[in-house]
């Protein structure tokens, strides 16, 4: 508490000072601690990177894919597919250093992502869109070519037939896919737009003893313990919605060859091979008629036909090199087979096989041409 000094206290204080000055007691010197050097100024932390702006239905075109390579671990009946993807990209010179990389994705759990060796952070950026930015705010994205690596999990659907979905036939589970129009983003983080056509290469890691099918013939196959790694040949340039797969204990029924030698098969559920008699007999003649009509060979390396027990919103789909059908179109029990079953198959098959030229080889620029 601060008090006002009186004249008496001032006098006492002065007398005390005088006494100290004439005292015989030696003066004690109290060492003074050296003054600490001023702390070096801290480097200013780099400003936090702003969140990427959301985008609309179409992705920006400053970054485009050159090729996809995806390895998917699929166990039919499981609710999750483990994905490991590589996307070769080209980032144009008109992209600013802070521009994010945008991909379509729906219900995908991205576990890690890198561009080359640069760690990336993933954030939502609109409906069915995710954005990738360097985790370090001081790092910028380079222009030119680089490879985006993504490790993620995808959901397997049971209630509908978009994306990857599973169905049980007799006592066995089967996994299928259907992507048109925008279902590919449910299985792959990708540029899920029809005008973007680049090569795809799929590897499916599946339980031993199961058959894996996709757009292209098998390039390599090797057992890895209880699993089998099946790598398919790269596709010609294709849009995302045309890439497809099927995994299960299929029986493969020979359906002949196209006039130019492409093998034709029907992949039926285990124990149902005798139900594939109509497509086994009629596919090659229909394809030969179409080759003659178009005046150019069937454009893909092979053709598999895969029946799906329950389809929602489609009866068949013209995936390049692997057409999926409602099982009611493709399979008939011998004792129930009629001429109408043959006519129904011919009608669907001629339509879907014609799409292998117009629809697959020649594709639409956007969905308003669907």
**Catalytic position from the list 180, 193, 318, 352:** 352
- Please say whether the beta carbons of 114 and 120 come within 8 A: yes
Give the separation between CA 13 and CA 18, rounded to whole angstroms. 9
Active site residue 352: yes
Q: 50-74 in b/e burial notation, b at 16+ Cβ within 10 A?
A: eebeeeeeebbebbebebbbbbbbb
Q: What distance in Å separates the CA atoms of residue 207 and residue 32, rounded to the nearest whole number?
A: 79
Rounded to 10 degrees, what is the CA torsion of 103, 107, 109, 114? 0
Q: Is the peptide bond preceding residue 181 cis, with omega within 30 degrees of 0?
A: yes
Residue whose C-alpha is closest to residue 148's, from 81, 65, 241: 65
* Residues annotated as part of the active site: 352
């Amino acid at each position: 508490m601060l008090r006002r000094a009186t004249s008496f206290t001032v006098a006492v204080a002065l007398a005390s000072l005088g006494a100290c000055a004439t005292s015989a007691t030696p003066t004690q010197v109290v060492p003074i601690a050296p003054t600490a050097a001023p702390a070096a100024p801290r480097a200013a932390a780099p400003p936090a990177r702003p969140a990427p702006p959301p985008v609309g239905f179409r992705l920006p075109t400053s970054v485009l894919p050159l090729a996809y390579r995806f390895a998917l671990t699929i166990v039919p009946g499981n609710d999750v597919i483990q994905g490991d993807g590589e996307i070769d990209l080209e980032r144009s010179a008109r992209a600013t250093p802070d521009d994010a990389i945008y991909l379509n994705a729906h219900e995908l759990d991205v576990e890690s992502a890198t561009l080359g060796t640069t760690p990336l952070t993933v954030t939502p950026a609109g409906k069915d869109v995710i954005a990738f930015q360097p985790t370090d705010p001081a790092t910028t994205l380079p222009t030119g070519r680089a490879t985006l690596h993504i490790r993620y999990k995808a959901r397997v659907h049971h209630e509908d037939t978009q994306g990857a979905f599973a169905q049980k036939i007799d006592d066995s589970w089967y996994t299928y896919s259907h992507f048109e129009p925008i279902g590919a983003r449910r299985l792959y983080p990708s540029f899920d737009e029809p005008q973007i056509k680049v090569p795809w290469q799929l590897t499916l890691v599946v339980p031993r003893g199961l058959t894996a099918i996709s757009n292209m013939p098998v390039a390599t196959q090797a057992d890895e313990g209880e699993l089998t790694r099946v790598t398919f040949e790269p596709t010609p340039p294709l849009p995302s919605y045309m890439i497809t797969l099927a995994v299960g204990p299929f029986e493969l029924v020979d359906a002949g060859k196209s006039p130019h030698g492409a093998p034709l098969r029907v992949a039926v559920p285990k124990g149902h091979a005798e139900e594939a008699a109509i497509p086994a007999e009629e596919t090659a003649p229909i394809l030969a008629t179409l080759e003659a009509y178009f005046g150019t060979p069937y454009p893909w390396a092979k053709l598999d036909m895969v029946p799906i027990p329950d389809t929602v919103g489609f009866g068949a789909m013209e995936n390049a090199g692997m057409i999926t059908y409602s099982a009611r179109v493709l399979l008939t029990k011998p004792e129930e087979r009629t001429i109408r079953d043959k006519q129904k198959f011919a009608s669907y098959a001629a339509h879907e096989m014609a799409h292998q030229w117009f629809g697959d080889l020649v594709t639409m620029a956007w969905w308003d041409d669907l």
